[in-house]
Structure 1
Amino acid sequence: GAEGLAGWLAERRVDAVVDATHPFAAGITAHAARAAAATGVPLVVLRRPGWQPGDGDRWHPVPSLAAAADALPGLGRRAFLTTGRLGLAAFAHLAGVHCVVRSVEPPGPPLPPHAEVLLARGPFTVADETALLRRHRIDVLVTKDSGGAATAAKLTAARTLGLPVIVVRRPPLPAGVAAVPDAAAVLARLGLTPPPPS
């Protein structure tokens, strides 16, 4: 929690906090912001840039997993869910949709009633993602805007196949907190210079 982290920062006389957690780790970021504010320690949030739609994309941005579940039945009947194993409860009531769920680790209940689980870890290629979407007869992709290249191939595959994509937007950062896109920007924000190349 924020109080425990604030105590740890003060006890160790930390000079700065760099929050490089997942873009959807809103709780951790909120705790880091509160702890940094309470101790006067500078906070820098490092977030890889989010994905941006390109020509031919059929994106449907939504603010939450619950909103994604609400939108899903109107867009397809065979969904590829790549939202992570911890958020699948939002889709557990969708009796009329077959869900192919990809996860790094086996998800726990509750799952959608018609769920097929694929265990895999990226990066994934466009060819592999296109083949997967075709093999499972997917007609809608559901994903969170995690950004980065490791799992972006599914978006290109969906564009190629003309599939709609439900994109869960990132949670907002705490008030007064801004994100930077890379390590060089972190160092610049903290007034540090990067080490020379080795």
Structure 2
Amino acid sequence: MTPQVLILGGTGEARQLAAHLVGRGVRVTSSLAGRVSRPQLPEGEVRVGGFGGIDGLADWLRREEVRAVVDATHPFARTMSEHAARATAATGTPVLALRRRPWQPVPGDDWRPVSSLEDAAALLPDLGDRILLTTGRQELAHFAALRDQHFVIRTVEPPEPPLPPHVTTLLSRGPFTTDGELELLREHRIDAVVTKNSGGTMTTAKLTAARELGLPVVMVQRPPVPEVPEVGTVEEAVERLGVTVTSPGTGGE
């Protein structure tokens, strides 16, 4: 029996979707990028690492007779989303994007939207001396030239150099609470927060805490993504996939 659904991504939503589908008797393969040494593994089959570009992914889809592809990658994983869209178009494989809704500001928020980490770094000299940086462990080189700020960098795994000269590293994985985030911001005397607009509920507490303390949040906006059928929740994805992966003769129940 070949995989019926390929799920791209190591997000919490991807793991939830895999569990739902496996529970319905669907064979699932989840593909993880391999950037985390000890990832939280989803139910079903798992493969780690790339496919070898668009052609490699297309060949894999044909060889494994994949019934449908779900792009449940991180909202900022633009390259993988583009590869998925082009490979599924080349093979005629149905594709569905599971993209968590972006955060939206509410009254009391002081958001400074920017289009890139480079633009975020350019704003920081005017926002304070102590910065909470929660943009992930990669691409921190954009902040390396800032010598007057002290950065509190929170990541799941140690950040990749080059880094700013003044750094405190916090290794932690969400979900986080508002009380915990308030304590962190006060303890480290944070003047501003930098984050990507990842959406979801796992890390929204930092936005609430920043609002309560009147701190500015430099919000990196999402990059453009391919136009493919899209849903915002696991439940919607399960419903959309139902007919595709459980029709007679596909191995589903």
TM range (shorter): over 0.9
Residue 183 of structure 1, CA deviation? 2.4
- Secondary structure of 1:11's counterpart equals helix
Where do residues 59-74 of structure 1 align in structure 2 (5 Å cutoff)? Answer: 59-74=111-126
Is 1:101–1:115's contact at 8 Å kept on the other side of the alignment?
A: yes
* 1:116 correspondence with 2:168: yes
Residue 191 of structure 1, CA deviation? 5.8
* 1:101 correspondence with 2:180: no
Corresponding residue of 1:164: 216
Residue 74 of structure 1, CA deviation? 1.8
Corresponding residue of 2:228: 177
The two structures, once aligned, show a CA RMSD in angstroms of 1.7
Corresponding residue of 1:17: 69
Can you list the C-alpha shifts for 1:98-135, whole angstroms capped at 9, x where unaligned?
A: 11111111112101111111111111111110111011
Residue 63 of structure 1, CA deviation? 0.8
Higher relative CO (CA 8 A, sep ≥ 6), structure 1 or 2? Answer: 1
* 1:41 correspondence with 2:93: yes
Q: Which runs of 4+ in 1 moved over 2 A?
A: 176-179, 183-195
- The one-letter amino acid paired with 1:50 is P
- The one-letter amino acid paired with 1:79 is I
Give the unaligned 5+ runs of structure 1.
none
Matches of 1:140 and 1:20 in 2, distance apart? Answer: 30
Q: Comparing 186-195 with 106-115, which one deviates more in the overlay?
A: 186-195
- Secondary structure of 1:38's counterpart equals helix
Residue 164 of structure 1, CA deviation? 0.3
Matches of 1:154 and 1:11 in 2, distance apart? Answer: 44
Corresponding residue of 1:78: 130
Matches of 2:95 and 2:143 in 1, distance apart? Answer: 35
Can you list the C-alpha shifts for 1:73-117, whole angstroms capped at 9, x where unaligned?
A: 122221000000112111111111111111111112101111111
Residue 194 of structure 1, CA deviation? 10
Give the unaligned 5+ runs of structure 2.
1-52, 247-253
- The one-letter amino acid paired with 2:213 is L
Is 1:187–1:194's contact at 8 Å kept on the other side of the alignment?
A: no
Matches of 2:218 and 2:232 in 1, distance apart? Answer: 24
Can you list the C-alpha shifts for 1:36-83, whole angstroms capped at 9, x where unaligned?
A: 111111111101111111110000111111111111112222100000
- Secondary structure of 1:101's counterpart equals strand
- The one-letter amino acid paired with 1:101 is I
Matches of 1:143 and 1:8 in 2, distance apart? Answer: 35
- Secondary structure of 1:132's counterpart equals helix
Number of aligned residue pairs? 194
- The one-letter amino acid paired with 1:163 is L
Q: Comparing 176-185 with 144-153, which one deviates more in the overlay?
A: 176-185
